[in-house]
Structure 1
Amino acid sequence: MTVTEPLTSTPRQPREGAFGPARELVCRECGTTRPLGQFYACGECFGPLEIGYDFGTVTREQIESGPNNLWRYKALLPVPDDIAESPNLEPGFTRLLKASNLAAELGIQKLWVKDDSTNPTNSFKDRVVAIALSAAREFGAKVFACPSTGNLANAVAAAGARAGIKTVVFIPSNLEMPKQVNSAVYTANLVAVDGNYDDVNKLASEIAGEEDGWAFVNVNIRPYYAEGSKTLGYEIAEQLGWRLPDQVVIPVASGSQLTKVHKAFQELIKLGLVEDKPVKIFGAQATGCSPVAAAFKSGVDAIRPVKPDTIAKSLAIGNPADGIYVLDICNGTGGAVEDVTDDEIREAIVLLARTEGIFTETAGGTTVAVLKKLVETGQLDPELETVLINTGHGLKTLDAVTDLVGSAATIAPTYDAFVAAGIA
C-alpha cells in the first residue's frame, strides 16, 4: 500500500517503519507496554496509553533542513519517513510573534504569542489531525471521525476532503454556527448531538466499539493523535533559537495539549537539542468549565467533573481526560491552573486584537485573560520570558465580541460631519 491510497475497512498490520521512531505503547499509570496498534487503554489497569520512542540521533541541522510545516519534526513523531508525500494540509511551523504591546499593557518584560490561528483550518487541531490521519491509514480504517467542540471537527473534515477519505464529525448541537459551517463545508456528514461535549464523546466511544473500521481520532487512535501537539513545543524552542522559554501559558480543554508541550520540551532536552532549564507551565480555563483549576486551587489530586456553562465552547470539556496530568505538570514545574469569567474572556479577545493585531477565539481569550490574572495575582513572574499559545482564530466565535465592538460613529459623507464626530 502507498500512503496515498484511500482507507479500507480491513484491519491489517502497519507497514514496516509506518510509525517512524515509535516503538511501543506505554501505560501512563502502571508503565505496562504493548506493541503498537489501535489501542488507547491499558489492558492491566485501564490507564491511558501513549507512544514510546527510540529516537536515536536527531540533530538541529536535520530538523532545519525539513519543510516549513510540522513534518520537519517527523524524526520525533509516530509517522513514516515518506509522510510528506501523502496528501495533507501541511499544518504547523506557525509564527511566533514578539508581543511587545500586550507585554507593556500587562506589565510583562518579554512576551511571545505562538499563533496557531494561521493553520489551514485556523486552529492547532490541524496538527493532531495530521498525525491521526497517518495512523488511520496504516490501520486500514474506512471512516475518519471525531467528537468535537468545533475546531477538531473543522480539521478532521478538511483533512479528509484533502485525502479523499470519508469523514463523519459529531458536535454538540449548540455549537457556535461559524464552527458548524466550517465543518459542513468540507463534509456532508456533520452530526449534531443534543448534549454537551461529554455526551458527544460518550456516543463516539460507543460507536468506535461497535462499528468496524472507524478511526475516531481522539478515541481509538488517541495515542497517535495526541502526539501532534508536541510540535507546538518543538517550534517554540526552535523559533526562540533552540532554547526554552521561562514560562508558558496554555489553554486547557482535555489537557492533552499542555501535557504534550511539556513532553516536547523534555524530549528536546534529552536529545541535547536545547539546554536543560526549568520551565513553569500554566493552564488556562474558563470559570464555567474549570474542573482542573478548581482541583489545583483546592490542592487535591483528583478532578471532579462539571457541567460546562461558558462561551469558551472549545474548552468546554467537563471531564478532561488529561486533567490529572495537567495538575502534576503545573504543580511540578511551579506553575498554576487559573480560570476567568466569560466577561474577562470577551475583554481579553479585544485586548489582544487591539494590542497585537491578532483576532483570537474564546479559547485564546481565556488564555490572555488568565495571563493577565496570573500577573495581577503574582503567580506569574513578569520579569521572565513568557510564551502564550493562541490556539484558534476569532472568526470562529464572532458572537463572543459582537456586543463589545462596532462603529465608532455613523456620519454623513461630509468633512464637517467627520469633524463633529470628534474622531480626529
Structure 2
Amino acid sequence: MKKKSKSKKWPLYTAIGVATALVLGAGAILLFRQPGETVASDEPSHIVIAKEGTVASSVLLSGSVTAQNEQYVYFDGSKGELDEVLVSVGDQVSEGQALVKYSSSEAQAAYDAATRAIAKADRHINELNEARNTAAATPILPQVGEEGGADLAQTQGQSTGSSFSSIDSQISDARDTRADAVAQLEKAQAQLDATTVLSTVEGTVVEVNRNVSKSPTGSSQVLVHIVSNDNLQVKGELSEYNLANLSVGQEVTFTSKVYPDKTWTGKITYISNYPKNNSEASSGLSGSSSGAKYPYTIEVTSEIGDLKQGFTVSVEVKNKSKALIVPITSVIFEEDKSYVWILDEYQRAKKVEVGLGNADAENQEIISGLTDGAKVISNPTTSLEEGKEVKTDEATN
C-alpha cells in the first residue's frame, strides 16, 4: 500500500528571509547608482525648448537698521574745559544748533590781545596821517631881505619831502602791523567758535554724557549722539560666496521679526571690495568656515512706517539676471562635467557639454554650450544613444 506524499512546507522564517533579501538587493541597486545616472525607460522622451528666462533663486542676508544721517560729538580736551552740554536726551535739534560749549582761557586771551593790537595799530596810523596832513598844510616861505632866502626855501622844501617819505613809510609799517593783528584775531575767533560744537544734522538726541573722564582715553567718550529718523538704511556683512552674485543697484525686500507681516523694499547702494579687516580675510584664506566678510549698505526706498533703528532684518536679494533655462531634470553629470541631451535637425539624440549657472527647484541656468531654441530632452534615460533617432511625445514647452 502506497503512502500518500505530503507537500513540503517552507518554514515561515525562510519566507521572511527571502523577502528581506529581495528588498536589500533592490535597495543596493538604488544605493550604488551614481548621481546624475538616469534609469532606463521605454517611455517617450519629453522635449522642451531652451529659452531665456530667470530662475527663482535669491540670496538671503541679514542686517540691522541704522540711521543714514547721524552725528557723534566726542569729548575734545584741546578745545578747553568742558563748560556745558546744552541738550538732553529726547530733544529735537535743528542743523546749526549749539550742542556743547567749552571754556578756553587761552583762546579768549589770544582774542583780546589781537583786538588790542588792532586798536593800537589804528591809533598809530591815525597819528601818522595827522602828522602828514599838518606837514602838508604848513607853507614854506623865504624871509624877505634875508640873504640866501631862495637857497633856504629849497633846503626846507627838501626837508619837508624827506619828512613825508618817512611818515609814509611809517604808515605802511603800521598797516602791516594791523594786518598781522587781524590775522591773529581771526585765528583766535576760530578757536573761540570751536569751543561751541554745533549740530550738523536735524534729528533726535539719543545719548548725552555729561560726566566724561579727562584721562587720555577721554577723547573716545561720546558727549552727544544725534540721529535722524527720516533716512534709514540697512547695514550688514555678506560672505565671499555671495560677493560674486550681488551688485550695487539690485533691489531687495526685507522683513523684521518684530513685524513679520510687513515688508519693506530697498536697493543696494554699497558693497565693499575689501573684507572687514585683514584678520578676517586671512582666516578665510586659511580655510575658516566663516570666511571673509564684506560690509554692504542698503537704502530704504519704501515708507519707513514702523521700522526703527536697531531692528534686525532678514534681507532677500532677488535674482533678475536673464539666461537660457532648462528643466533641472534634463541635466546629467559624468566625471565632474555636466551634459544635456538634445535633438538635432534629424530628430537624433546628441549629448552636449554645458556650463551651469544658478538653479532653483525646477529650472537650471545654462551659461554655455547651448543655443536659444534648442530642443532639450527633459527626461533623459540610459537608453539614449548618440546619433540614434529618439521617440518623443508630441508636447513641447
Q: TM-score range by the shorter chain?
A: under 0.3
Larger strand percent: 2
Larger helix percent: 1
Higher relative contact order, chain-length normalized (CA < 8 Å, sep 6+): 2
So what's the TM-score if we normalise by structure 1? 0.16
